[in-house]
Each structure stands twice: as structure tokens, then as C-alpha cells.
């Protein structure tokens, strides 16, 4: 199984809602990532988890709250978002984080978020 | 962090070989060079990774000169389905994407 599964594929939420994005992998990878991608822009790194601990937070606003309950799961909790937060949210995993070679990043298909 | 520079866009025709160059002047000793392909509304997909000289797999080749300050992704005999954005990443764990190269393959 070389898949990263993201749910939901599409999410529409109001600015006062609380919702969550979910990411799952069963490749035994110890690093997981959240990216945000706006149209015609490259993926923008948000968070990196290494061995279930948050290792990188790219100064992301607190209305985005990541969680890594176990080595296979990664959540992104959303609260009080703004319309400009509408984007494709991508999850990825890799076998390693630090070291001589991170190895290949495996991406999910993304969750398309629209904030009204 | 090794910053990368790629051409913003490239055009090609079906059946041609396409070479996309990435500059990474401040690459560190431990850094690997990795290329990804991304289609609209999909996650990026790994193409190839290398450290030095030449690497080849079933879809592409990666050429890295001795000074490692640049690299070239070579796609042999492209087809319309190779139209995508191609990203060059350099590093060992931060996995930040540069602007990428938008390749358009024409019939």
C-alpha cells in the first residue's frame, strides 16, 4: 500500500464553523506533512511531524491546528477560517525527515476547502 | 536552505526530448535533488532523485554536474499527458517547493 488517503475530498465551511481534515498512510512512514496550495502556485509547507511530534510550524495562524494521534494519522483542525484560506490542502508522508536523505514524498490527492 | 531557480514555463511538441534545468547554487553537502510532477488538482508525484552524476529510471533521467550547483531533468519523447508543472527540490528534510516549471506539450 503506497497510498496517502485524505478526507474529505471537498469541504465547504463558514467562517464560524469548526471542521477537520484527515490524512492516513499505512506505509510505516515516520514523517507527515501538511501543505496549502492556491491556484497556479506551488505547494506551501505548513507543518511537519516527525515521529508524531511537531518539528516544523511555518508560522501558520492558530486557526489551523495540526494533530498527529499516531504514526499513521494526521489531522488538521480548522476554526474561524477566512475566505482567503480557501485552497487545496495536501498531506504527504516520507520515510524519514532529518538525515542525509528524506526519501520520496508521497502525496494524497488533497482536500479542496472553500470558506464562505 | 538551498534555493532553487527554474524557468517559469516551457513549450514542447509530442515526441521531443525535454530538458528542464534547475539552479541551486548554495546546495549543501548532504542535500539530495528531487523532482516532482504535478497535474491540476492533484498532489505532486515523485519522478526521480539523485545526488551526483546521472540517474535514470523508467520515466526520466537526472543529470547533475560535478559542482552540483545545477541539475537537469530530461524527459524523453514527451506526450500530451506530460503537460504538468515540474518542481525541483533540494534539501534533506524541509521539503519546500519553489515556483516550478509549467511544461506544455503541444500536438
Mean pLDDT of chain A, nearest integer = 92
Among the partner residues B36, B51, B95, nearest to A45 by beta-carbon distance: B95
Chain A residue with minimum CA distance to B94: A97
Q: Which residues of A touch B29 (CB under 8 A)?
A: none
Tally the residues of chain A. 116
Residue A61: CA atoms inside 13 Å, Cβ hemisphere, count? 9
**Residues B70-94: pLDDT tens digits?**
999 999 999 999 999 999 998 866 6
Q: Exposed, middle or buried: residue A22 (CB in 10 Å: 0-12, 13-18, 19+)?
A: middle
The residue whose grid cell reads 515556483 is B99
Question: Of B38, B24, B37, whose CA–CA distance to B90 is shortest?
Answer: B24
- Find the range with the poorest average confidence among A34-38, B39-43, B75-79: B39-43
Q: Is the pLDDT of residue B60 over 90?
A: yes
Per the CB < 8 Å rule, is A44 touching B97? yes
Question: Of B107, B32, B91, whose CA–CA distance to A48 is shortest?
Answer: B91
Q: Above pLDDT 90, what percent of chain B? A: 81
Chain A interface mutation, best of B22, B59, B95, highest count of A Cβ atoms under 10 Å:
B95
Q: Which residues of B touch A4 (CB under 8 A)?
A: 43
Among the partner residues A42, A45, A109, nearest to B99 by beta-carbon distance: A42
Phi-psi category of B29—alpha, beta or left, where left has phi over 0 and alpha has psi -120 to 50? alpha
- pLDDT, mean of residues A21-42: 95
What Cα–Cα distance (Å) separates residue A19 from each residue in A75, A110, B47, B59? 10, 15, 33, 39
Among the partner residues A97, A106, A109, nearest to B93 by beta-carbon distance: A97
Radius of gyration of chain B (CA): 13
For the record, the C-alpha cell of A22 comes out as 484527515
Q: Which residues of A touch B92 (CB under 8 A)?
A: 98-102
What Cα–Cα distance (Å) separates residue B34 from each residue in A64, A73, B88? 28, 25, 6
Report residue A100's pLDDT band, with 50, 70 and 90 as the boundaries. very low
Q: What are the residues facing B21 on neighbouring strands?
A: B72
Number of C-beta neighbours around residue A23 at 10 A:
26
Q: What is the DSSP string of A47-72?
A: EEEETTEEEEE-S--TTEEEEEEETT
Per the CB < 8 Å rule, is B92 touching A106? no
Among the partner residues B51, B85, B92, nearest to A99 by beta-carbon distance: B92
B79 or A103: which leads in pLDDT: B79
Sheet holding A73-79, edge to edge: A4-7, A18-25, A73-79, A64-70
Q: Which residues of B touch A108 (CB under 8 A)?
A: 43
Per the CB < 8 Å rule, is A90 touching B92? no
Amino acid at each position: 500500500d503506497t497510498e496517502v488517503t485524505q478526507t474529505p475530498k471537498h469541504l465547504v465551511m463558514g467562517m464560524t464553523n469548526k471542521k477537520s481534515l484527515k490524512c492516513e498512510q499505512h506505509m510505516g512512514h515516520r514523517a507527515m506533512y501538511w501543505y496549502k496550495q492556491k491556484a497556479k502556485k506551488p505547494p506551501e509547507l505548513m507543518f511537519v511531524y516527525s515521529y508524531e511530534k511537531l518539528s516544523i510550524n511555518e508560522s501558520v495562524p492558530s486557526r489551523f491546528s495540526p494533530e498527529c494521534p499516531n504514526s499513521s494519522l494526521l489531522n488538521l483542525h480548522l476554526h474561524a477560517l477566512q475566505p482567503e484560506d480557501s485552497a487545496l490542502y495536501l498531506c504527504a508522508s516520507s520515510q524519514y525527515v532529518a538525515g542525509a536523505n528524506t526519501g520520496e514524498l508521497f502525496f494524497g490527492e488533497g482536500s479542496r476547502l472553500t470558506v464562505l | 536552505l538551498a534555493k532553487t531557480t527554474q524557468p517559469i514555463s516551457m513549450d514542447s511538441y509530442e515526441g521531443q526530448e525535454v530538458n528542464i534545468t534547475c539552479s541551486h547554487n548554495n546546495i549543501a553537502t548532504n542535500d539530495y535533488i528531487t523532482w516532482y510532477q504535478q497535474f491540476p488538482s492533484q498532489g505532486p508525484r515523485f519522478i526521480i532523485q539523485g545526488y551526483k552524476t546521472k540517474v535514470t529510471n523508467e520515466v526520466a533521467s537526472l543529470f547533475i554536474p560535478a559542482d552540483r550547483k545545477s541539475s537537469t531533468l530530461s524527459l524523453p519523447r514527451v506526450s500530451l499527458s506530460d503537460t504538468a508543472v515540474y518542481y525541483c527540490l533540494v534539501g534533506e528534510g524541509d521539503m519546500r517547493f519553489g515556483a516550478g516549471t509549467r511544461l506544455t506539450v503541444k500536438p
